[in-house]
Each structure stands twice: as structure tokens, then as C-alpha cells.
């Protein structure tokens, strides 16, 4: 039968399908007023991603690995500075290394880290005591320069309890954007990935658990009889007993076991999120765990990590010098250049040392 092409129509999907877009971001900058203040109201939820027991633990592992490689391998300085840092106790029993690693953790997770600079009567630095970012308020003038810090009480109306001048607070800032008056929280950046992986793992756990359930089919339309069987079945499961029913199998009644869905789609999705997570955090998975990696793969992961932790070391060294007049150099592990040269002699396809062009351990 011939079709009349004059009857051809088309759909109208105007407004139905929209293109993907990225929301605009307005930085928290100084306003046209004498003072502009900012306090991190999301601090507790950001720390929850790092320390919470019900989220993905890789975030905690990746951030602590970065802080360990940055400030946990020792440092060199002059004798007087070394003696000064050796006497620091933080909140009572911390070392200088622990204080620095804690501050790097908070800097990366929440965007900013703070420590009270404590001096003796002669003005000599004697200690650094970390203060949680949930109680610190940054106040800048109309030009965007830090005027002071205020410490507030926790909860309630956050009443100011102490005021600090800029030289009384050691302030580390993570990836500050333009003239914004605070740093960038890594927890905010990876939150979507963390939640997506958590959902995938919970979905698979639920599906696997439900697969242990057996469905009982009863050839009956009698509500009272079905209710009785339901009660007996529930009681037998609760008591871990076998339910005995009078009837003919596959005629009057039958059981059907639920099967778990294929695991491959779940694993591919979870592995993709894992890979994406480590890319965003900037800490290769091999740094957090060596499981499943070849020697050459581990070396490649290490080489990609070298610029990351050396950058953090240089930033921390600069902050200590600019804010405390302390000159220290955090230890850099030896470079893999020698190992790569030996590998190249064995395998022409191995990575060329010149390809990395990384100078460390100097």
C-alpha cells in the first residue's frame, strides 16, 4: 500500500531536551564596604567526608598520604630553628611534623587551615596550636586584605570569643581562586564522586542481600489461608527452622530463589569512579595502595605524584617563611631517574628518564 508523504509530521521537543551546562560561580570576594567577613559554614560536612564512618575511606587515605609525603619525611634547618621546632607541643603532645600534617589535611579537605601562633613575652615563637576552621572567621578590608581573624563559639549564634591579628594566626589556603577570601575545599570537589560510589556499593549490597530471599508461590485464592502461611513462613525464618507445608510440590506450591544481578556493570561503574576519584584528588592510587600494580606501573604513578607533593612542600615552606620567618626544607625522596635508566637498558620500551624531566632529592 502506497503511503502519502504529505501526511509526514515531526515531533516538537522544544524545551523538552536541554543541553548540559555549567553553573556560574561567584567568588566570595571583598565587598564595597569597610569589612567583609567569611566563615566556613560547611566545615563539619566537609570533615565528614574525610573522617565520617559511612562514606568512602579512600578520601581519608589519599589526603593523609599527601600530607605524609609532604611533611612526614622530616626536614632540614639550622640548629636554632631545629631546637625551636623540637620544643613545640601543639595541644600538648604533638610534634612539629604532626602539626604540619594535620594542617595540610585540613587545608586540602576544607580549603583553609589555622593555627594560633604562640609567643613568649620576648616575642619568640614557642608553639603552634591548631584551631578548627568551623570557629574561625576571616575578616578583610575593602581592598581584600586580611584585617583580623575572629574565633567564635561553636553552635548557637557563633558569638565572637577571641580576636587575632593577622600575625597571630598561621593560615594555610588551598587553591585560592582569584581574589576570593578563602581556599577551595577538596571535599566539595569530590563529593559527587564519593556519593555516587557509595550509592553503587549500597545498591550492590542490597541486591546481593535480597538474592538470599526465596519466594513461595501458593496455589490458593483464600486470603485467610495465605495470611496464615505468611505468618508461618515469617516465624520459621525468624526461628531458623524449616517450614513444612502440606501439598504437592510444583502443583500446590513452589519456591523460587531470587538471583543477584550481574556484578560486571556494578564493578565497571565503581572502578570508573575510583579512577576518576584519584585523578581529581591528584594522588595516584599506587601511592595509597600497591595492590594490583606492576613495578613499572608503580613507577609511573610515583612520577606523576612527584610534582604534586613537591608543590605542597614548596608552598608549605613558603608559608612558614612568610608568616613565621622559619626557614625549613622538607625532605624529598630520591628521584626514580636512576631506576628508569636501568629499566631502559633492559627494556627499550620503558619510560625515558628525560621524558619526566623531574628533579627531586636535591
Angle at 71 between CA 69 and CA 75, to 5 degrees: 115
What confidence score (pLDDT) does residue 53 get? 65
Looking at 184, 201, 231, which one is the last position of a domain? 184
Q: Is the residue at 189 inside a domain?
A: no
Judgement on whether residues 251 and 178 belong to the same structural domain of the protein: no
Judgement on whether residues 54 and 166 belong to the same structural domain of the protein: yes
Q: Is the residue at 5 inside a domain?
A: no
pTM over 0.95: no
Q: What is the pLDDT of residues 26-80, one digit of tens each?
A: 888 888 889 999 999 999 999 999 987 666 788 998 999 999 999 998 999 999 9
Comparing 168 with 358, which gets the higher pLDDT?
168
pLDDT at 297 over 90: no
Please compute the mean of the pLDDT values over residues 291-306 and round it to a whole number. 65
Q: Which domain holds residue 239?
A: 214-257
Judgement on whether residues 167 and 59 belong to the same structural domain of the protein: yes
Whole-number Å distance between alpha carbons of 319 and 317:
6
Judgement on whether residues 137 and 229 belong to the same structural domain of the protein: no
Q: Is the residue at 282 inside a domain?
A: no
Judgement on whether residues 229 and 128 belong to the same structural domain of the protein: no
Whole-number Å distance between alpha carbons of 206 and 194:
18
What confidence score (pLDDT) does residue 9 get? 76
Q: Is the residue at 102 inside a domain?
A: yes
Residue by residue, DSSP assigns 259-320 as -PPPHHHHHHHHHHHHHHHHHHHT--HHHH--TT--HHHHHHHHHHHHHHHHHHHHHHHHHH
Q: Is the residue at 132 inside a domain?
A: yes
Q: Per residue, what are the HEC states of 3-36?
A: CCHHHCCCCCCCCCCCCCCCCCCCCCCCCCCCEE
Judgement on whether residues 152 and 218 belong to the same structural domain of the protein: no
Alpha helices in 130-262 (DSSP H): 186-210, 223-238
Comparing 157 with 203, which gets the higher pLDDT?
203
Looking at 145, 169, 184, which one is the last position of a domain? 184
Judgement on whether residues 135 and 240 belong to the same structural domain of the protein: no
Judgement on whether residues 136 and 249 belong to the same structural domain of the protein: no
pLDDT at 332 over 70: yes
Q: Is the residue at 238 inside a domain?
A: yes
Q: What is the pLDDT of residues 186-207, one digit of tens each?
A: 999 999 998 999 899 889 888 8
Q: How many domains does the chain have?
A: 2
Q: Is the residue at 10 inside a domain?
A: no
Looking at 146, 167, 184, which one is the last position of a domain? 184
Q: Is the residue at 95 inside a domain?
A: yes
Amino acid at each position: 500500500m502506497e503511503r502519502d508523504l504529505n501526511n509526514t509530521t515531526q515531533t516538537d521537543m522544544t524545551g523538552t531536551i536541554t543541553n548540559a551546562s555549567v553553573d556560574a560561580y561567584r567568588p566570595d570576594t571583598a565587598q564595597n564596604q569597610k569589612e567583609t567577613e567569611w566563615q566556613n559554614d560547611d566545615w563539619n560536612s566537609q570533615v565528614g567526608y574525610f573522617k565520617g564512618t559511612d562514606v568512602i575511606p579512600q578520601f581519608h587515605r589519599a589526603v593523609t598520604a599527601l600530607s605524609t609525603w609532604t611533611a612526614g619525611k622530616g626536614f632540614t634547618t639550622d640548629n636554632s630553628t631545629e631546637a625551636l621546632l623540637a620544643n613545640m607541643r601543639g595541644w600538648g603532645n604533638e610534634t612539629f611534623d604532626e602539626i604540619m600534617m594535620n594542617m595540610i589535611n585540613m587545608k586540602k579537605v576544607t580549603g583553609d587551615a589555622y593555627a594560633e601562633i604562640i609567643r613568649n613575652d620576648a616575642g619568640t615563637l614557642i608553639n603552634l596550636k591548631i584551631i578548627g576552621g568551623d570557629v574561625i572567621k576571616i575578616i578583610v578590608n575593602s581592598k581584600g586584605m586580611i584585617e583580623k581573624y575572629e574565633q567564635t563559639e561553636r553552635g548557637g549564634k557563633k558569638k565572637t570569643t577571641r580576636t587575632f591579628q593577622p600575625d597571630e594566626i598561621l593560615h594555610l589556603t588551598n587553591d585560592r581562586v582569584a581574589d576570593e577570601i578563602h581556599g577551595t575545599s577538596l571535599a566539595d570537589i569530590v563529593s559527587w564522586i564519593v556519593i555516587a560510589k557509595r550509592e553503587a556499593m549500597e545498591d550492590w549490597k542490597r541486591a546481593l542481600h535480597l538474592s538470599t530471599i526465596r519466594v513461595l508461590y501458593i496455589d490458593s485464592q483464600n486470603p485467610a489461608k495465605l495470611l496464615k502461611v505468611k505468618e508461618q513462613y515469617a516465624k520459621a525464618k525468624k526461628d531458623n527452622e524449616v517450614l513444612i507445608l502440606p501439598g504437592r510440590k510444583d502443583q500446590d506450591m513452589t519456591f523460587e530463589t531470587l538471583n543477584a544481578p550481574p556484578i560486571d556493570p556494578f564493578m565497571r561503574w565503581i572502578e570508573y569512579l575510583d579512577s576518576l576519584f584519584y585523578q581529581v584528588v591528584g594522588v595516584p592510587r599506587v601511592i595509597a595502595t600497591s595492590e594490583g600494580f606492576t613495578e613499572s606501573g608503580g613507577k609511573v604513578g610515583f612520577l606523576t605524584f612527584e610534582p604534586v607533593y613537591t608543590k605542597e612542600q614548596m608552598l608549605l615552606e613558603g608559608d612558614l617563611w612568610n608568616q613565621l620567618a622559619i626557614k625549613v626544607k622538607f625532605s624529598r625522596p630520591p628521584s626514580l631517574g636512576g631506576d628508569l635508566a636501568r629499566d631502559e637498558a633492559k627494556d627499550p620500551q620503558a619510560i625515558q628518564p628525560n621524558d619526566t624531566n623531574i628533579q627531586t632529592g636535591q
